């Protein structure tokens, strides 16, 4: 990275996304808090298995080794559990050598105010409530799905991230037209507005932060490789490309699938994570790559 300081990318990751906590979580749901605490204490020196967000978090933290001036990425481990039960999380972070310096254990208190206090850019969590509140507040956030049983390692040492377009990078305006009026109305709308940039979606600001990190890197050594994987096709393509140009956002790979299966393209791209707003895409994708669903913003929020 170059010598000038870059505003760090701040990522909050829930303990259940960073590590596989399903065993202890099921004990909590079945037997209550006392049984849960006993289980956690009995196993607090045993490192937890890696969760769906672990590969991305590890790769992001490794970027800090390339920066001579400050940290490029700050990761915060966030959990609603009691601090006493958080010891196993802290021990697991240390066991894997993760450079996570900050953590928050809230004992069930709302997480959103803590995320805002930390100026979080991205939340990865299994809590539907926390993610929805974050998205409604204007933050990039995704509900993490269980990781694939096996997935190929990402290629070439870059941090590979794949995004859907509508309702993720871009606003959900066009997606709403498609859902309400059908494909023909959607295509006609996009053709008519091909030269009008789309409004920003929940991940647009995050893309801007990544872009600044990319531009600070030495020539030919960009730390991220980004892909747009969208169901759009036909005459709905032009507006996407013109919007990215208007925003001055560089995407390395763009796939207009026109309804083709996203999971097969993602298996070939091999990202650290894939973001989409529809379970119909996220669920099959999560079988081959780490994936998260971005909920639509609640218009009443």
Lowest mean pLDDT among 35-49, 59-73, 216-230, 236-250: 59-73
CA separation for the pair 115, 117 (Å, rounded)? 5
> Which residue is it, tokens 């800090």?
64
Structure tokens at 178: 């498609």
Pairing label, strands 140-144, 122-125: parallel
Lowest mean pLDDT among 5-9, 44-48, 143-147: 5-9
**What is the CATH number for 284?**
3.40.50.1000
CA separation for the pair 163, 23 (Å, rounded)? 30
CB proximity list for 161: less than 8 A, separation 6 or greater: 56, 210, 224, 225, 226, 227, 271, 272, 273, 274, 275
Mean pLDDT computed over every residue of the chain: 90
pLDDT tens digits for range 107-124 = 889 999 999 999 999 999
130, 164, 172, 263: which one is catalytic?
A: 164
In terms of residue numbers, what domain contains 100? 9-144
- The helix (H) or strand (E) run that includes residue 49 is none
Q: What is the pLDDT of residue 3?
A: 43
pLDDT tens digits for range 165-203 = 999 999 999 999 988 999 889 999 999 999 999 999 999
Residue 299 resides in a domain: no
> Which residue is it, tokens 């390395």?
252
- Evaluated on CA atoms 126, 131, 132, 135, the torsion sign reads negative
pLDDT tens digits for range 53-86 = 999 999 999 988 876 666 899 999 999 887 888 8
pLDDT tens digits for range 261-280 = 999 999 999 999 999 999 99
276 forms bridges with which residues in the sheet?
Answer: 293
Q: Are residues 46 and 125 in the same domain?
A: yes
121 in active site: no
Q: What is the pLDDT of residue 29?
A: 82
Q: Are residues 57 and 87 in the same domain?
A: yes
Q: Are residues 117 and 176 in the same domain?
A: no
């Amino acid at each position: 990275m170059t010598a000038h300081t870059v505003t760090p990318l701040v990522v909050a990751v829930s303990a259940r996304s960073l590590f596989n906590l399903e065993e202890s979580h099921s004990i909590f749901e079945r037997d209550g808090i006392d049984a849960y605490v006993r289980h956690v204490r009995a196993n607090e020196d045993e490192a937890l298995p890696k969760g769906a967000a672990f590969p991305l978090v590890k790769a992001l933290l490794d970027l800090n080794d390339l920066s001579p001036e400050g940290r490029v990425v700050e990761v915060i481990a966030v959990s609603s559990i009691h601090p006493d039960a958080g010891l196993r999380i802290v021990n697991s972070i240390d066991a894997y050598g993760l450079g996570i310096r900050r953590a928050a254990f809230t004992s069930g208190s709302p997480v959103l105010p803590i995320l805002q206090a930390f100026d979080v850019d991205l939340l990865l969590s299994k809590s539907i409530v926390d993610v929805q509140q974050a998205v409604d507040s204007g933050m990039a956030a995704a509900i993490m799905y269980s990781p694939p049983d096996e997935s190929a390692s990402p290629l070439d040492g870059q941090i590979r991230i794949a995004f859907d377009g509508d309702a993720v990078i871009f606003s959900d305006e066009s997606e709403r037209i498609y859902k309400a009026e059908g494909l023909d109305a959607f295509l006609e709308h996009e053709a008519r507005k091909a030269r009008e940039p789309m409004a920003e979606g929940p991940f647009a600001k995050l893309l801007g932060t990544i872009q600044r990190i990319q531009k600070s890197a030495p020539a030919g050594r960009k730390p991220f490789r980004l892909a747009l994987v969208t169901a759009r096709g036909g005459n709905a393509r032009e507006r996407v490309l013109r919007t990215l140009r208007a925003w001055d956002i560089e995407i390395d790979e763009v796939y207009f699938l026109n309804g083709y299966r996203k999971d097969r393209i993602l298996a070939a791209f091999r990202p650290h994570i894939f973001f989409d707003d529809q379970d119909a895409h996220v669920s099959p994708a999560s079988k081959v790559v780490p994936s998260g669903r971005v909920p639509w913003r609640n218009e009443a929020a």
